[in-house]
């Protein structure tokens, strides 16, 4: 399914799936759905051509087998070419680590939701003026909830997400600080859990996080 901005905000939690082999990607997605999470960001593995190919294979599999159950997005998108590849492989939203106006522009041209990464107020405003739908404050866990509150105070008109260091113990505090959604990576879907097929553990963690927001 192609996510709308409202659906992302209602879903609240985006699972960041990084360096998970395509052979188990569908099982990981099913475990997340069982735990109440349908937003899934498949990150581009920038370290190698093989890593990027695994990313695209994973997106293909999810789009083919779980199209009606999940909202598929692409993460760590650094170039306009990767925006186009993600679009071709079923992504409905693009998440980046940085602010790249060309990436934002191409994302919007293709009708997708744009979520670039920023840290400072200057970067946040630049991203939003460039067309971003949500600005990803990253790394949120390093700077903390008080920093997010301080940034949002004068910029409350800009929807922001928190990514980096979010876990079941602190997830609610980020929402109290005013974010509209969060991205959760290793604290929700670790590579080791995936390759060891510990899918029930992923489901339990997903439910625990959802419970904190009830």
Catalytic residue ranges: 41, 136
Contact 134, 181 (CB under 8 A): yes
Alpha helices in the chain (DSSP H): 5-11, 25-34, 49-65, 80-88, 101-109, 121-129, 140-152, 171-176, 191-195, 199-212
Return the number of other C-beta atoms located less than 10 Å from residue 176's C-beta: 10
CA distance 147 to 154: 12
* Rounded distance between C-alpha atoms, residue 74 and residue 87, angstroms: 9
Tell me the β-bridge partners of 45.
none
């Amino acid at each position: 399914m192609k996510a709308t901005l409202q659906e992302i905000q209602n879903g609240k939690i985006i699972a960041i799936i990084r360096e998970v082999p395509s052979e188990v990607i569908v099982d990981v997605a099913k475990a997340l759905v069982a735990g109440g999470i349908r937003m899934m960001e498949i990150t581009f593995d920038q370290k190698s051509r093989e890593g990027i190919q695994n990313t695209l294979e994973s997106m293909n599999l999810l789009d083919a087998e779980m199209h009606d159950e999940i909202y598929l997005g692409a993460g760590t998108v650094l170039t306009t070419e990767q925006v186009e590849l993600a679009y071709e492989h079923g992504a409905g939203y693009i998440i980046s680590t940085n602010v790249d106006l060309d990436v934002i522009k191409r994302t919007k041209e293709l009708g997708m939701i744009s979520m670039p990464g920023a840290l400072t107020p200057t970067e946040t405003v630049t991203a939003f003026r460039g067309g971003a739908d949500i600005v990803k404050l990253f790394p949120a866990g390093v700077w903390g909830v008080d920093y997010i509150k301080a940034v949002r105070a004068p910029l409350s008109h800009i929807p922001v997400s928190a990514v980096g260091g979010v876990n079941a113990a602190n997830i609610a505090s980020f929402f109290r600080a005013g974010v509209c959604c969060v991205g959760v990576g290793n604290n929700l879907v670790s590579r080791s859990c995936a390759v060891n097929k510990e899918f029930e553990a992923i489901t339990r963690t997903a439910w625990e996080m959802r419970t904190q927001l009830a």
